[in-house]
Amino acid sequence: MARPIILFSQQWSDLPLEDLAQKAAEWGYQGLELACGGDHFEVQRARAEPGDGQEKRGLLARADLSLPVLSCHRVGQAVCDPIDGRHQELVPDYVWGDGEPAGVRQRAVEEIMAATQAAQELGASVISGFTGSPLWSYVAGYPGPSSAVIAEGFQNFARQWNPILDVCRDCGVKFAAEIHPGQIAFDLYTAEMALDALGGREEFGFTLDCSHFHWQGIDPVEFVRRFPDRIYHVHVKDAALTVNGRSSLLNSYFPHGDPRRGWDFRAPGRGGIDWESLIRALHEIGYQGPLSVEWKDSRMNREQGAEEACKFVKRLDFEPAGRSMPL
Amino acid sequence: MARPIILFSQQWSDLPLEDLAQKAAEWGYQGLELACGGDHFEVQRARAEPGDGQEKRGLLARADLSLPVLSCHRVGQAVCDPIDGRHQELVPDYVWGDGEPAGVRQRAVEEIMAATQAAQELGASVISGFTGSPLWSYVAGYPGPSSAVIAEGFQNFARQWNPILDVCRDCGVKFAAEIHPGQIAFDLYTAEMALDALGGREEFGFTLDCSHFHWQGIDPVEFVRRFPDRIYHVHVKDAALTVNGRSSLLNSYFPHGDPRRGWDFRAPGRGGIDWESLIRALHEIGYQGPLSVEWKDSRMNREQGAEEACKFVKRLDFEPAGRSMPL
Amino acid sequence: MARPIILFSQQWSDLPLEDLAQKAAEWGYQGLELACGGDHFEVQRARAEPGDGQEKRGLLARADLSLPVLSCHRVGQAVCDPIDGRHQELVPDYVWGDGEPAGVRQRAVEEIMAATQAAQELGASVISGFTGSPLWSYVAGYPGPSSAVIAEGFQNFARQWNPILDVCRDCGVKFAAEIHPGQIAFDLYTAEMALDALGGREEFGFTLDCSHFHWQGIDPVEFVRRFPDRIYHVHVKDAALTVNGRSSLLNSYFPHGDPRRGWDFRAPGRGGIDWESLIRALHEIGYQGPLSVEWKDSRMNREQGAEEACKFVKRLDFEPAGRSMPL
Amino acid sequence: MARPIILFSQQWSDLPLEDLAQKAAEWGYQGLELACGGDHFEVQRARAEPGDGQEKRGLLARADLSLPVLSCHRVGQAVCDPIDGRHQELVPDYVWGDGEPAGVRQRAVEEIMAATQAAQELGASVISGFTGSPLWSYVAGYPGPSSAVIAEGFQNFARQWNPILDVCRDCGVKFAAEIHPGQIAFDLYTAEMALDALGGREEFGFTLDCSHFHWQGIDPVEFVRRFPDRIYHVHVKDAALTVNGRSSLLNSYFPHGDPRRGWDFRAPGRGGIDWESLIRALHEIGYQGPLSVEWKDSRMNREQGAEEACKFVKRLDFEPAGRSMPL
Amino acid sequence: MARPIILFSQQWSDLPLEDLAQKAAEWGYQGLELACGGDHFEVQRARAEPGDGQEKRGLLARADLSLPVLSCHRVGQAVCDPIDGRHQELVPDYVWGDGEPAGVRQRAVEEIMAATQAAQELGASVISGFTGSPLWSYVAGYPGPSSAVIAEGFQNFARQWNPILDVCRDCGVKFAAEIHPGQIAFDLYTAEMALDALGGREEFGFTLDCSHFHWQGIDPVEFVRRFPDRIYHVHVKDAALTVNGRSSLLNSYFPHGDPRRGWDFRAPGRGGIDWESLIRALHEIGYQGPLSVEWKDSRMNREQGAEEACKFVKRLDFEPAGRSMPL
Amino acid sequence: MARPIILFSQQWSDLPLEDLAQKAAEWGYQGLELACGGDHFEVQRARAEPGDGQEKRGLLARADLSLPVLSCHRVGQAVCDPIDGRHQELVPDYVWGDGEPAGVRQRAVEEIMAATQAAQELGASVISGFTGSPLWSYVAGYPGPSSAVIAEGFQNFARQWNPILDVCRDCGVKFAAEIHPGQIAFDLYTAEMALDALGGREEFGFTLDCSHFHWQGIDPVEFVRRFPDRIYHVHVKDAALTVNGRSSLLNSYFPHGDPRRGWDFRAPGRGGIDWESLIRALHEIGYQGPLSVEWKDSRMNREQGAEEACKFVKRLDFEPAGRSMPL
């Protein structure tokens, strides 16, 4: 289909953007999902130096790459999380500041607002990202949260994100919250609850990444059908279940690639996701946005993998039927 | 087998202990796993009033019930958790005090020490309970904890629990930590890590409750075989997977009984656990302790259920083979 | 639970009603679902002889059996089917008459109206039955029907049944259409369509018989949750899949019991239906009606089977939880 | 293998045959299964205009396409179906005539006889097609047909088809009845019954299309082994089960592509059929005929799909082993 | 059903027969399958002491036990096996003699002939047993046997067994060869080959023991349908698959009960066999013989187990339908 | 990855080595696993004619093929098997000699010693092969072997193989015993036992061929993780389960390709093995040796198959990740 196949830059932040752009183009990609942070795209610098955005666009254009989506996953995590030491590594120094939680959260909000304006200037119509969650520590643990605690968590989420979404509305940019453990919305029903908490405002939709659904037992096709007009972005990442009686779906505390995990990410097409049914569901709802390869596979060489993934998605994304045919 | 079939009193704390004892005996139980907290058994009062323990023993003896295990699940949660509002409901007022976290944790430690001494006096050789966890908020979320954070979490756990285990050693009582989400050990590998953090000391072992293994994809038989000499207590509780494409194994934020959950507890024998294989594994390791029915099934009348459960466990716990037979 | 366990009389029409009543009571049943037709209950005679209904009630009362449901499955089939030779065996002679299709259909309508009035007199609050279907010959065949043909089929259904439902409304009796192949509604979506065709009128709901869902791949729990206020009656009948690479789910033209079938009915508890999940779904929606054993198992002695089935349903239908319990 | 890979023209009847031939050749096909009806090949005109067949052969030859099979699926449906409005769209006007059932059936018979003679002239050795069925409305419905009704149905089938098969015999052409719902033979056992009804005459065999077996639970390998010398033609079409607890295998009344269906057709290799086992079974019986792609996938662009399908079948149809090799 | 439920005495040979008889009766059994060898029934002594058989019959009759089947499994193993050290433990001393293979085989033949005559005198109409196999060492190993070796193996089998079957014919006793690994017939196809090798003579049929089919992947229902008139005896023994990624279905060299095995025997109803389908298949073919519990479960107390097994089989063996019932 | 993809020559022994080398190179292979025996490489001649090895190396070098592994599967079978007629076909005439078992075994030992020296000269660092087994006839049969018999079997194995392994040590060549039915080690636990019997000496490791694990129910990933430093060689061969209720996993006595078998070999990628998980496990342990295609598929043309297999393995063997990447 005419959907652009793009590469998410987060996993390549160790390469200069120019090098990445050249490689991505050679591998067959048509654009990037550019991750804020680090050298690739520093929001504050972009705000300070008016030509910076233009320069990035030029750099990508020279490699014949589009820039339909800007990612602010990392800083988004700080918007409504309880802040602890882990967040220092996720956000720029000027967002972390003295690390006092309320201040970090506030500066994270401002950073995403700035990123939204940058997206507008860069011509990206979607910001993808994490939201953080005031409730995550309660999930699956003991004791469960009371309904009052849950309600307060969603109000907190709405308080933090509504001002950002106002900026999105003003900039004509949509926010695509990734459905992901650790975020306010991590499954179908929490996605419903998040949307409700925001009064269903149109600036807010979802980034669909099936790899996070797989081990939770959720069918991404059901998700697509439940939110046909809220799929604002799609990540292509595979996952494999590796439960063997001893490993747990919660993965103990093991990093990716550890054989004692109960599931792990895999290069697209090398895991257990039913891509054929997913692409048909995306055809069904008329999704027109990009398919963004988030390349994570701890056992495979990433350059070989990224090239293979681009080819995989091209084969996958067949041309939908235009009209009825004779039976 | 000769293993006593007992009833965990936690789910019956709204009944006077005398009434519960009478009912349990009528339903066929041979003993109780008595939960500390509330009227059934208040540790502080037991310490203050020397005759209290004796009185409980007498009360149970009149109903022909033994008391092999004392439970301190609730207060145990506060030993190494980050303390928040939920803990106020879990612990006695005198443990909560002013709610200042370090103080709560310290008083929780002392409460379990006192419970251990009470167990000795009551003739219970095992304390079952939760441990809490400084790491739970990192499980399955984003970003994952660094290995340094994990190491520090287990050291924290050991610092908090070693003094308690010293008391256990002195009292001749074993602590059976329940493998349970929200605790330092929630699966096979974290059980290994917890044991290692304590230098493998003998006072520390596990309460096996298969219902927490089921949705994580762990085979309880593998667990039993991995820790043949550390199964200090067994809960009998069933669970059923109810994933249907929309529900998640993480259960959104829904309470038990909500049809949108991806798994739920069930009365023993009415869920998906392979009890036949479990009882054979317990025979294999020579487990001699009680089988304790923790009755939780949000759809079923608990009295009918508790009686049925006792019969179920009696049928389940067949007599093991004494010696080889002719082939 | 307090739901009455009753026996559907259709499969026992070769026995005098008095004998059946005595046997049913001995087997433990608390009532009958009385099938119209034959000696058990002939609608026309009941209309003609005012005392007949009273006599039936007395006969059942003497055996301590209630009569909550009257069945008019057979004559219902003729209401909107294309009439052919098979219907002659299904309906009383006075309904068949000369066999001219329009007349048969009209007299079938009148027969059910009369049965409804009889139900009222007998104290039965529900009529269970088939509806027939003008569309069945199109299901799964070639070529499929156009949407116009389908629309016309449902209008035809509504035209035939609305006058009957008017009588139901007047008599305070509900009609419970069995979801069943060969009827206008044979699955979840056709049940939706049937309800829509009738404007959702309250007199019309469903008889749930899981054995017809099983081989179609439908989960009865989904059905119960989709129509929580339209389950007016429940049949208890089991089914087993017997596909072996050669048999088909469509069963060729083989009668029950033929080993070349791909599925067959089984006595309750001896097939593949997940009764545990079903009864929980019925608890969930607060279904209060009877559980009616429709005993069909071509390999098993029906008397032994009917007694066993009654015991099975008693064990199955556990007491639901009255209120929350301590956790 | 040397089996020709051909394209069934039915789904392309909106294109001029010349255009289709050119495209098919470009996509890699080696021949066509030409469907009677419409512009592609009108039987009556072919009979009337002696050069017509020659012209078609020439047209295909110029595109380097063979013509091993002629299809008369649509008109075949009318041979022993009860005729209703749907058949008007299936058959040429001159077969429909005044629509009086007996006449339509008779003219359908004559049309297939004529098609058989045309096949001979075109050099096609096989006619593929539907048979219709006097029994379909009884399949899976209520009440089931008596054995007498079934016997009469098969006699009816034989009466209608024997004269056609006589013409086949005279022309040296075989009739390959597609095993398909809505036909007299729709599974393994009904295929046996159909063959028996015809006395096993050699002119009659089967078109194997696994997509119709898949949702019925039949293993096509068992079918191939049961009728090793009666597989006269093979369609390549895939299917996927999409049951999700709500959808039914009977598909309500939904058209292809509707997400509420319990199964649907898919492009070859994109569904659930075990093609590897099928091709091995075809090697096993020594099937030498064509592999005919019947391209149906309501979500996919048919031109991209047809090209992909040809490549898929080429990879699939590996060269069988010629002789034993050293072990 | 009226089928007698009996207990196979082999696993109880350490008990005096009188004690076993008393226990078996108390547990609810209606008869024994008496194993030749040891004190229970020594064939040679029975031949030498004419009253011995009469005495056994009396002993069993006093316990109200029938004796429908005599077992000569152990000595049967020596009839066409290559003899090695293992056989010395299987056969009586007088059969083993000097252990020279040809002599052992010959004396094993004579022992079974004598046992057949003893069966006649005891009123047992069936001898159950093993056959041994000249081919077993070739099964699943490397290199496979040539077809000539296989043919010679079956001829050898026929040469050894035909004289025994002549005696069976003369005595009116049938031989029921147990389908079992290590025997000439261990699955469906080898059962066909064995029957062919004997020219299908009626004295030879099978003992069906599903526990040996389970791990081979064979469906016992298919076996029953393949040999409807050759099921001469049925053992009731369950089995469970315990493959976990490390264990093998071939079980290394581990004895029963070792947790490293990939399958093991289980008490009836505690393993994975589909008894419901089996009993229906036995109804289907009209099997009238006994159901003989061969009690083997290395983890369970055999006395508790044998009593439970008898109850299990009674519930299982429901009364078959006598005639059609109204639909 | 840089692992060489090679072809096992055993299945091509009917071709002159020069022809095979040319074909293998054309198909894309980078080397051969050369099977001793026949024209390809006769050990005795190589010993007798000093230039023979050099000539083979030259011949392969001209086709740009390496020779990392020499195979002595066939003669290995005779080292500790009970010798019977089948072995005559497996070994060279000079090893068979007069066929007296002890002599055959001794000459087989000497042949492998000579092959080891030849391997050293040829530059092959690994000898792959079978071991034979004194215990195979006891596997899965009746009665099982006593533990004494098993112990003696492994001692016998060690006695026969230790002298060979001494030569391996002296030559710097490793012996890679194929885990295979019929050998001393046929699964994970017997591999442990074999290693133990040899005192874990380093010259002895394993050839992993997943096709033999598949039908035994063993997960090759578990095997790789259990023996991370003993995987000395890897065969690439696929297998498919074809159980259908009638076929057995033990395969009766049917040759490959017979449709009555319960499993069979397949060309790589056309069976049921999870190659993706296997290659990741090999990456995990850092296996650097060759991937050797043992091409066996009784239904497929071997030349087409061998070329396809080489491509399959190239795609499979992706480049492993060199270092951590940004998350």
Do F140 and E137 lie within an 8 Å CB cutoff?
A: no
CA atoms of C285 and A259, how far apart (whole Å): 44
Q: Is the pLDDT of residue D141 over 70?
A: yes
Q: How far is B144 from chain C (nearest CA, A)?
A: 30
Strands (E), A13-140: 31-35, 66-71, 126-129
Contact between residue F127 and residue F168 where contact means Cβ atoms under 8 Å apart: yes
CA atoms of F118 and A46, how far apart (whole Å): 69
- Which residues of chain A make contact with D304, given a CB cutoff of 8 A? 318-319
Q: Is the pLDDT of residue C326 over 70?
A: no
Beta-carbon contacts of residue A167 (< 8 Å; ≥ 6 apart): A113, A116, A117
Average pLDDT over residues A275-293: 97
A244 CB near a chain F CB, below 8 Å?
Answer: yes
**Tokens of residue A257, six digits:** 């690639």
Q: How far is C321 from chain B (nearest CA, A)?
A: 4
Do F299 and D283 lie within an 8 Å CB cutoff?
A: yes
In the beta sheet, which residues pair with residue E320?
C300
- Which residues of chain F make contact with A302, given a CB cutoff of 8 A? 321, 325
> Hey, CA dihedral for F85, F86, F89, F90, is it positive or negative?
negative
Q: Which of A218, A283, A318 to mutate to test the interface with D (most CBs of D within 10 A)?
A: A318
B264 CB near a chain A CB, below 8 Å?
Answer: no
Q: How confident is the model at residue C327 (pLDDT cuts 50, 70, 90)?
A: low
D3 CB near a chain F CB, below 8 Å?
Answer: no
Q: How far is E257 from chain B (nearest CA, A)?
A: 9
Q: Which of residues 87-106 of F touch E (CB under 8 A)?
A: 89-90
**Of residues D12, D13, D301, nearest to A321 (C-beta):** D301
Least confident of B114-118, C253-257, D70-74, D323-327: D323-327
Q: Is the pLDDT of residue E141 over 70?
A: yes
D2 CB near a chain F CB, below 8 Å?
Answer: no
CA atoms of A67 and A54, how far apart (whole Å): 12
- Which residues of chain A make contact with B178, given a CB cutoff of 8 A? none
* DSSP character string of F75-135: HHHHHHSPP-THHHHHS-HHHHTT--HHHHHHHHHHHHHHHHHHHHHHT--EEEE----SS
**Of residues F90, F150, F221, nearest to E253 (C-beta):** F150
Contact between residue F23 and residue F303 where contact means Cβ atoms under 8 Å apart: yes
F322 CB near a chain A CB, below 8 Å?
Answer: yes
Note the Cα E95 to chain centre separation in Å: 20
- Which residues of chain C make contact with D245, given a CB cutoff of 8 A? 218-219, 221-222
- Which residues of chain C make contact with E283, given a CB cutoff of 8 A? 299
Do E326 and C10 lie within an 8 Å CB cutoff?
A: yes
- Which residues of chain E make contact with A244, given a CB cutoff of 8 A? 244-245
The per-residue pLDDT for A323 is 58
Contact between residue A299 and residue F283 where contact means Cβ atoms under 8 Å apart: yes
The per-residue pLDDT for B327 is 52
Contact between residue E77 and residue E132 where contact means Cβ atoms under 8 Å apart: yes
The per-residue pLDDT for A53 is 86
The per-residue pLDDT for F40 is 92
State the burial class of residue E38 (Cβ atoms within 10 Å of its Cβ: 0-12, 13-18, 19+).
Answer: middle
Do E320 and C299 lie within an 8 Å CB cutoff?
A: yes
CA atoms of B34 and B42, how far apart (whole Å): 11
Q: Is D239 left (phi over 0), alpha (psi -120 to 50) or beta?
A: beta
**Closest among D217, D223, D203 to D281, alpha carbons compared:** D223
In the beta sheet, which residues pair with residue D245?
C218
- Which residues of chain A make contact with D260, given a CB cutoff of 8 A? none
Strands (E), chain E: 5-8, 31-35, 66-71, 126-129, 174-178, 204-209, 231-236, 238-241, 263-266, 291-293
Return the residue of F nearest to E182 by Cα.
F141
Cis peptide before A143 (omega within 30 of 0): yes
Q: Bigger pLDDT: B312 or A52?
A: B312
The residue to which tokens 């000496």 are assigned: F201
CA atoms of D239 and D216, how far apart (whole Å): 11
Q: Which of residues 46-85 of D touch C (CB under 8 A)?
A: 77, 82, 85
Beta-carbon contacts of residue C231 (< 8 Å; ≥ 6 apart): C205, C206, C208, C224, C282, C285, C287, C289
C244 CB near a chain F CB, below 8 Å?
Answer: yes
Q: How confident is the model at residue F118 (pLDDT cuts 50, 70, 90)?
A: very high
Q: What is the pLDDT of residues C96-133, one digit of tens each?
A: 999 999 999 999 999 999 999 999 999 999 999 999 99
The per-residue pLDDT for C50 is 79
Q: Is the pLDDT of residue B85 over 60?
A: yes
Return the residue of E nearest to A246 by Cα.
E244
The per-residue pLDDT for C2 is 77
Q: Which of residues 179-208 of E touch A (CB under 8 A)?
A: none
Q: How confident is the model at residue D248 (pLDDT cuts 50, 70, 90)?
A: very high
In the beta sheet, which residues pair with residue E293?
E7, E236
**Tokens of residue F277, six digits:** 């998980």
Average pLDDT over residues D112-135: 97
Return the residue of D nearest to A218 by Cα.
D244
**Of residues D219, D281, D319, nearest to F300 (C-beta):** D319
**Tokens of residue D227, six digits:** 């009728």
Q: How confident is the model at residue B165 (pLDDT cuts 50, 70, 90)?
A: very high
- Provide, for chain C, the percentages of residues in helix, strand and coil under a 3-state DSSP scheme, each rounded to the nearest 5: 45, 15, 40
Average pLDDT over residues D283-305: 97
Q: Establish whether this prediction's ipTM goes over 0.90.
A: yes
The residue to which tokens 């295609």 are assigned: F293
Beta-carbon contacts of residue C138 (< 8 Å; ≥ 6 apart): C144, C145, C149, D86, D253
Do F189 and E247 lie within an 8 Å CB cutoff?
A: yes
Q: How far is F37 from chain D (nearest CA, A)?
A: 12
Q: How confident is the model at residue B1 (pLDDT cuts 50, 70, 90)?
A: low
The residue to which tokens 């109206």 are assigned: C113
State the burial class of residue A48 (Cβ atoms within 10 Å of its Cβ: 0-12, 13-18, 19+).
Answer: exposed
**Tokens of residue E273, six digits:** 């066999």
Contact between residue F321 and residue F261 where contact means Cβ atoms under 8 Å apart: no
Do F142 and E183 lie within an 8 Å CB cutoff?
A: yes
Average pLDDT over residues B231-254: 97
Return the residue of B nearest to D242 by Cα.
B245
The DSSP secondary-structure symbol of E149 reads: H
* DSSP character string of F141-207: SSSPPPHHHHHHHHHHHHHHHHHHHHHHHHHT-EEEEE--TTSS--SHHHHHHHHHHTTT-TTEEEE
Q: Is the pLDDT of residue B68 over 70?
A: yes
Q: How confident is the model at residue B49 (pLDDT cuts 50, 70, 90)?
A: confident
Do F259 and D326 lie within an 8 Å CB cutoff?
A: no
**Of residues D280, D319, D325, nearest to F304 (C-beta):** D319
Q: Bigger pLDDT: B47 or A97?
A: A97
Q: Which of A84, A130, A189 to mutate to test the interface with B (most CBs of B within 10 A)?
A: A189
Do E262 and F216 lie within an 8 Å CB cutoff?
A: yes
Contact between residue C69 and residue C124 where contact means Cβ atoms under 8 Å apart: yes
**Tokens of residue E57, six digits:** 């019959």
Q: How far is E220 from chain F (nearest CA, A)?
A: 8
Q: Is the pLDDT of residue D325 over 90?
A: no
B245 CB near a chain D CB, below 8 Å?
Answer: yes
- Which residues of chain D make contact with A321, given a CB cutoff of 8 A? 257, 297-302
Do F296 and D222 lie within an 8 Å CB cutoff?
A: no
Q: Which of C12, C266, C299 to mutate to test the interface with E (most CBs of E within 10 A)?
A: C299
B241 CB near a chain A CB, below 8 Å?
Answer: yes
E304 CB near a chain B CB, below 8 Å?
Answer: yes
The per-residue pLDDT for C38 is 82
Q: How confident is the model at residue D51 (pLDDT cuts 50, 70, 90)?
A: confident
Return the residue of D nearest to A275 by Cα.
D270
Q: What is the pLDDT of residues A170-224, one digit of tens each?
A: 999 999 999 999 999 999 999 999 999 999 999 999 999 999 999 999 999 999 9
> Hey, CA dihedral for D12, D13, D14, D20, is it positive or negative?
positive
Q: How confident is the model at residue B59 (pLDDT cuts 50, 70, 90)?
A: very high
**Of residues E319, E326, E327, nearest to C300 (C-beta):** E319
Q: How far is A127 from chain B (nearest CA, A)?
A: 19
Do B12 and C276 lie within an 8 Å CB cutoff?
A: no
Q: How far is F157 from chain D (nearest CA, A)?
A: 25
Q: Is the pLDDT of residue F60 over 80?
A: yes
The per-residue pLDDT for D99 is 97
Strands (E), chain D: 5-8, 31-35, 66-71, 126-129, 174-178, 204-209, 231-236, 238-241, 263-266, 291-293
CA atoms of D119 and D69, how far apart (whole Å): 8
- Which residues of chain C make contact with E228, given a CB cutoff of 8 A? none
Angle at the Cα of F167 from the Cα atoms of F165 and F168, rounded to 5 degrees: 60
**Of residues C142, C147, C193, nearest to D182 (C-beta):** C142
- Which residues of chain A make contact with F280, given a CB cutoff of 8 A? 299
**Of residues B219, B283, B327, nearest to E299 (C-beta):** B283
